[in-house]
Amino acid sequence: MELYEAMNRRRDTRSEFTGSPPAPEVLDRLLRAAHSAPSVGMSQPWVFVTVHAEETRRAFRDHVAQRREEFASLLEGERADTFARIKVEGIMESGLGIVVGHDPTTAGEVVLGKQTVADTSLFSVCLAIQNLWLAATAEGIGVGWVSFYREEFLADLVGFPEHVRPVAWLCVGEVAALPEVPDLERFGWRARGPLERVVHAERHGWS
């Protein structure tokens, strides 16, 4: 698939999973795409745990359901009604979870480019996720990023050592189709804004 097409077709997927996880050779290409992302000081500070096991996914789904309730309890009126219609995860339906973690120790103590901004290593992990997401789109695979979780719970669930921080649970699986319009826009939660709002010439606040 052409790059710009992949960017435009990419969607955060929740309801469209068919129940089949990606075939092993497709999964391999997705992980290789992630692994080819740029990283500070060539540290490649990412970790991927592929979760097919139903028991693990069920435990995570139950945890996420509770966090959803907590969030719902903060909302009132139209916001509460709108949120009630929005699906926030496809953990069981997707057939595969990929837990992405940040391991800041992969390149030792002195990482080129990380000295002044320690988070650059965390940023690298996100770049890898976007590569995976675009590759999935090109392969006809849906990806849904779940963020309704407590980090300690997820770290414990997949056995991350103390120094590895969970960054995402990605629901990854075959889809009937990718939605044309993002769910949050379709259900009236929030629409995309114009580019002009976020671009400034020379200094912030000028345009």
CB of 16: closest distance to a copy of itself in angstroms?
A: 15
CB of 19: closest distance to a copy of itself in angstroms?
A: 19
Cβ closest to a copy of itself, residue 93 vs residue 99: 99
- Where helices occur in 36-119 by DSSP H, the ranges are 54-72, 77-84
What are the residues facing 170 on neighbouring strands?
98, 145
Please spell the DSSP secondary structure of 97-156, one letter per residue. Answer: EEEEEE-TTTT-S--TT-SS-TTHHHHHHHHHHHHHHHHHHHTTEEEEEE--S-HHHHHH
Residues of this chain, 122-141, that bind a copy of itself according to CB under 8 A: 122-123, 126-127, 129-131, 133-135, 138
Distance, CA of 69 to CA of 71 (rounded, Å): 5
**Amino acid making up residue 64:** V
The DSSP 8-state label assigned to residue 23 in this structure reads: P
Cβ closest to a copy of itself, residue 18 vs residue 35: 35
8 binds a copy of itself (CB under 8 A): yes
79 binds a copy of itself (CB under 8 A): yes
Distance, CA of 98 to CA of 27 (rounded, Å): 10
Residues of this chain, 143-202, that bind a copy of itself according to CB under 8 A: 145, 147-151, 158-161, 164, 167-168, 182, 184-185, 189-193, 195, 198-202
142 binds a copy of itself (CB under 8 A): no
Q: Which position among 18, 59, 120, 140 is part of the footprint of a copy of itself (CB under 8 A)?
A: 120
Number of residues in contact with a copy of itself under rule CB under 8 A: 93
69 binds a copy of itself (CB under 8 A): no
Cβ closest to a copy of itself, residue 37 vs residue 92: 37
Contact 112, 40 (CB under 8 A): yes
Cβ closest to a copy of itself, residue 158 vs residue 174: 158
Place of tokens 């309801």: 15
Q: Which position among 4, 25, 162, 176 is part of the footprint of a copy of itself (CB under 8 A)?
A: 4
107 binds a copy of itself (CB under 8 A): yes
Q: List the x/- string, 28-67, binding to a copy of itself by CB under 8 A.
A: -x-xxx-xxxx-xxxxx-xxxxxxxx--x----------x
Contact 166, 99 (CB under 8 A): yes
Nearest Cα residue to 169 out of 141, 149, 197:
149
Could you tell me how far CA 149 lies from the centroid of its own chain?
A: 13
